[in-house]
A and B are shown apart, each in its own frame.
Chain A
Amino acid sequence: AQKVTQAQTEISVVEKEDVTLDCVYETRDTTYYLFWYKQPPSGELVFLIRRNSFDEQNEISGRYSWNFQKSTSSFNFTITASQVVDSAVYFCALSEHSGGGADGLTFGKGTHLIIQP
């Protein structure tokens, strides 16, 4: 069965520090998709990135970067030079391509990121 683990419940850093959010997943599928979502205090989940299992290239988008490593089943998210507006709960999620698992996303429990001014 698919599973996503975000071991860090809460992280607090001072503004401008770099921070990495960890995500470890489990799946029996060889084709799958990994996602990160941001949930700000307003509550609405915001899509950040989707990565398929065949693309292990790291991705950078502005201050955000993602490190996908199949060998360790990890899909970590780094925010460089953090800002107060980055404060939110961040969720890692998994979707399997073939049947067997549910068709919805399987989410981790989330990491609450607090950026202090």
Chain B
Amino acid sequence: GAGVSQTPSNKVTEKGKYVELRCDPISGHTALYWYRQSLGQGPEFLIYFQGTGAADDSGLPNDRFFAVRPEGSVSTLKIQRTERGDSAVYLCASSLIGRRGEQFFGPGTRLTVL
């Protein structure tokens, strides 16, 4: 079956602009996660959805970051007033049973803020 997909694969934007990153999880996976991976580092947790609700958003770095999952499937990560420090690969993962289960990752969106 289809894996986790993310669009766009690459996004270049200017400082101060707004961006949206999309994640389409594996069908039937109720748990969805967003991570951010900087060069040479491991993925860093941002937010976790169980169904439509954000069960844990403790990893979002500040209020410029926001994510939604209105129908419990596709999720969008939104970043306002982008800064150069936001440049990273944004990874999405989905899981069948939440924190106890293996997470399946998408290919990521490489965000570059100029």
List the interface of chain A (C-beta within 8 A of B): 4, 33, 35, 37, 42-47, 50, 52, 91, 93, 95-97, 102-110
Count of chain B residues near A, Cβ 8 A: 29
* Least CB separation from B42: chain A residue: A107
User: Would you call B48 an interface residue if the criterion is a C-beta within 8 Å of the partner chain's C-beta atoms?
Assistant: yes
Q: Check A104/B59 contact, CB under 8 A, given A44-B107, A110-B42.
A: yes
Verify B108–A43 contact, CB threshold 8 A: yes
Q: Check A44/B108 contact, CB under 8 A, given A103-B56, A104-B33, A104-B48.
A: yes
Verify B100–A95 contact, CB threshold 8 A: yes
Q: Which residues of B contact A50 (CB under 8 A)?
A: 101-102
Contact of B102 among A47, A97, A108, A110 (CB under 8 A): A47
Contact of B43 among A42, A45, A96 (CB under 8 A): A45
List the interface of chain B (C-beta within 8 A of A): 33, 35, 40-48, 55-56, 58-59, 89, 91, 93, 98-108
CA distance A110 to B106 in the complex (A): 18
Name the residue among B45, B46, B108 with the largest chain A CB count within 10 angstroms. B45
Verify A96–B99 contact, CB threshold 8 A: yes
Contact of A95 among B46, B58, B99 (CB under 8 A): B99
Q: Which residues of B contact A96 (CB under 8 A)?
A: 99
Q: Check A97/B42 contact, CB under 8 A, given A44-B106, A102-B56.
A: no
In the complex, the 3 A-B pairs of residues with the closest C-beta atoms, listed nearest first: A104-B45, A107-B42, A103-B56
* Least CB separation from B9: chain A residue: A43
Instruction: Report B40 CB to chain A, min CB distance, Å.
Output: 7
Instruction: Report B59 CB to chain A, min CB distance, Å.
Output: 6
Sampled A-B contacts (22; CB under 8 Å): A33-B100, A35-B102, A43-B108, A44-B105, A44-B106, A44-B107, A45-B91, A46-B105, A47-B105, A95-B100, A97-B99, A97-B100, A102-B56, A103-B55, A104-B33, A104-B46, A104-B48, A104-B56, A104-B99, A105-B33, A107-B44, A109-B40
